[in-house]
Amino acid sequence: MAASLFDKLWEGHVVDHLGDGMDLIRIDRHLIHDLSGPASLKMLSERGLSPRAPELTFATPDHRVSTEPGRTGGGSPANDKALAVLRRYCDRYGIQLFDLNDAEQGIVHVVGPELGLTLPGLSLVCGDSHTCTHGAFGALAWGIGNTEVTQVLAAQALIVERPGSMRVSFEGELGPSVSAKDLILHLIGREGAAGGARHAVEFAGEAVTGLSMEERMALCNLAVEFGASFGLIAPDETAFAFLEGRRFAPKGELWEAALQSWRRLPSDPDARFDAEIRIDASTVAPQVTWGVSPEDVVAIDGRVPDPAAAEGEKQAEARRHALDYMGLEPGAPIEGTPIQHAFIGSCANARFGDLAAAAEVVRGRKVADGVRAWVVPGSQAVKRAAEAAGLDQVFRAAGFSWREPGCSMCLAANGETVPSGERAVSTSNRNFVGRQGPGARTHLASPVTAAASAIAGRLTDPRRLGAGG
């Protein structure tokens, strides 16, 4: 029978069917970080258990670390303590840790693929919702809670409910200054933040196959903001070329055998999906959020929605609440809204290609007065590559600060926050109330839109600055 990529991934990992759609799934790779890791490791030891396959688990601190140049820890006693706990357990259990100033430290979802820990056909979990990022390689990857982290450590397997399947096809070519981030924000705006709920979503279509791996990761990164259980892209030559030679990727004969197996993963031509969505990518403009959910999004040349035009009282009330929190006027053009902060970072958009695209916008220009602009590379490897290409100089010359890798202002767990009532354009993935700090106002956008906005001091259509595709 014809099978989809998701069918093949799922069935390839079922150890046992447990009824009612619940399956025992074998876990191939496990990533750990300094926010969910310490408590889960502690739970494991308190239950008198130890890891079943520590060689398949890898750790790196990212969420709570300072990204201040010259950092020595987490920027607070509590964060330093969490880091110490992570170190102690990794050491005790033989879990490889890419520690604070290790050459491979960075945000887990940037580091996994860089090291070839993420591979097509693997099942991969992490105590972090954006683990769906790794689905860009055709891996069965999803975020789990603390209890499940402990279970994976103890048993290398999880009980999971099989979701339905959905295919989202982006046809046509991307317009100028439009990136994967704009595609996924557009999709979430159109279908809602629960549009993909209880579904494994495969992204397909020529606009997707034409994307670099970095762009594909940005697309899959926000699958969870679409409510999806998984975000997947069929592995192809682009994925294989990205992975070949990476530290933990198979080598020699194993690589060849793996390639053969991976080439069988893409959905069969007549595979069936429970739901299908088609979007003409050429009609998608650069996107920016106006509210407090990623579904609150408009084209950069659009207007802030009016609660009076909402469908029903519940939506009207939600819009009033969002506009009140965001300090925006209904019906006003979103472009031109003054900002005080620009954050280029996070597991959505802090890879080399993101920084390079933003640097092209910034080159030879200056950050507007009154804007605090940061670039936080996604990993040490990204930072090194960017510095080798001179991007750090471009950003510095424009007035950006160039920082150490970590989650930083995406999560605001390390004192790196947007002050209450102030407004940020951010390349991260969540504009929730208080996400970047209590009272912080977040506008999600692509790297080029964030860069153009930092220069102008207001939300700005990157096409005005001639930002490249």
Partner 1 sequence: MTPFESFASKAVPLPIDNVDTDVITPIGRVLEGAEALVRYAFESLRFAPDGSLRRDCPFNDPAYAGARILIGGENFGCGSSRETAVWALAGMGFSAVIAPSFGGIFFSNCFKNGVLPIVLAAEDVAAVARHAAGGSEILVDLGRQRVSAGALERSFEVPALRKEALLDGLDDLGLILKRQEALAAFETRDRLERPWVYLSPA
The values of phi and psi at residue 65, to 5°, are -75, 150
Tokens of 406: 């970590």
Minimum distance, C-beta of residue 462 to ligand SF4, in the bound complex (Å): 22
Residue 26 interacts with, from ligand SF4, partner 1, none (CB under 5-8 Å by kind) = partner 1
- Work out whether 411 is an interface residue with partner 1 (CB under 8 A): yes
The nearer residue to ligand SF4, 189 or 405, going by C-beta atoms, is 405
9 binds partner 1 (CB under 8 A): no
Q: State the Rg of the chain over Cα.
A: 21
**Is 254 a residue that touches partner 1 (CB under 8 A)?**
yes
* From 38, 61, 75, 227, residue interacting with partner 1 (rule: CB under 8 A): 227
DSSP character string of 411-448: TT-SS--PPTT-EEEESSS---TTTTSTT-EEEE--HH
Buried b vs exposed e over 129-150: b needs ≥16 C-beta within 10 Å?
Answer: bbbbbbbbbbbbbbbbebebbb
Footprint of partner 1 on 30-69 (CB under 8 A): 35-36, 47, 55-56, 64
Nearer to ligand SF4, 123 or 426 (CB): 426
Among 271, 359, 367, 407, binds ligand SF4 (CB under 6 A): 407
113 binds, among ligand SF4, partner 1, none (CB under 5 to 8 A by kind): none
Residue type present at position 248: F
Nearer to ligand SF4, 109 or 423 (CB): 109
Q: What SS3 class is residue 323?
A: helix
Longest dimension (CA), the chain: 64
Would you count residue 16 as binding partner 1 (CB under 8 A)? yes
H or E stretch at 375: strand 372-375
Residue 133 interacting entry, from ligand SF4, partner 1, none, C-beta within 5 to 8 Å by type:
none
Candidate list 8, 13, 30, 63; residue touching ligand SF4; CB under 6 A? 63
**Which runs of consecutive H residues, i.e. helices, occur in 27-176?**
37-46, 77-93, 108-114, 146-155
Task: Give helix 352-362 / helix 391-398 axis angle, nearest 10°.
Answer: 40
> Min. distance of Cβ 64 from partner 1 in angstroms?
8
Beta strands in 139-296 (DSSP E): 140-143, 157-161, 164-171, 199-204, 230-232, 275-280, 287-289
Site for ligand SF4 contains 410 (CB under 6 A):
yes
User: At its nearest, how many Å lie between partner 1 and the CB of residue 154?
Assistant: 6
C-alpha 108/C-alpha 425 separation (Å) is 23
SS3 state at 249: coil
What residues numbered 347-406 form the site for partner 1, per CB under 8 A? Answer: none
Query: CA 458 to CA 170: how far, in whole Å?
Result: 30
Residue 94 binding partner 1, by CB under 8 A: no
User: Is residue 104 a contact residue for partner 1 (CB under 8 A)?
Assistant: no
| Nearer of residues 79 and 267 to partner 1, judged by Cβ | 79
- Terminal Cα distance for the chain, rounded: 40
Q: Tell me which of partner 1, ligand SF4, none is bound by residue 438, counting a contact when its beta carbon lies within the kind-specific cut-off of 5 to 8 angstroms.
A: partner 1
Dist CA 195 CA 199 (whole Å): 9
Binding partner of 318, given partner 1, ligand SF4, none, CB within 5-8 angstroms per partner class = partner 1
Write phi, then psi, for 343 (nearest 5 degrees): -120, 115
- For residues 202 and 267, is the Cβ–Cβ distance under 8 A? yes
Which of partner 1, ligand SF4, none lies near 346, with the C-beta cut-off 5 to 8 A by kind?
ligand SF4
Cβ atoms of residues 188 and 294 within 8 Å: yes
Residue 426 binding ligand SF4, by CB under 6 A: no
Examine residue 5 and tell whether it contacts partner 1 (CB under 8 A): no
Q: Which of 411, 425, 444, 451 binds ligand SF4 (CB under 6 A)?
A: 411
CA-nearest of 194, 164, 163 to 275 is: 164
Q: Does 130 bind ligand SF4 (CB under 6 A)?
A: yes
Contacts with ligand SF4, 287-326, as mask; x by CB under 6 A: ----------------------------------------
Chain residues 81-110 in contact with ligand SF4, contact rule CB under 6 A? 107, 109
Within residues 217-276, the interface with ligand SF4 by CB under 6 A covers none
Q: Give the whole-angstrom CA distance, residue 135 versus residue 410.
A: 21
* Residue 442 C-beta: closest distance to ligand SF4, Å: 12
Q: Which of 21, 245, 466, 469 binds partner 1 (CB under 8 A)?
A: 21
Cβ-based neighbour number of residue 403 at 10 Å: 21
16 binds, among ligand SF4, partner 1, none (CB under 5 to 8 A by kind): partner 1
Size of the residue set binding ligand SF4 (CB under 6 A): 13
Torsion angle of C-alpha atoms 427, 430, 434, 440, degrees rounded to 10: 30
**Residue 160 DSSP SS3:** strand
| Residue 335-354 contact track with ligand SF4, rule CB under 6 A, x = bound | -----------xx-------
Does 324 bind partner 1 (CB under 8 A)? Our answer is no
> What residues make contact with ligand SF4 under the rule CB under 6 A?
62-63, 107, 109, 128, 130, 346-347, 407, 410-411, 428-429
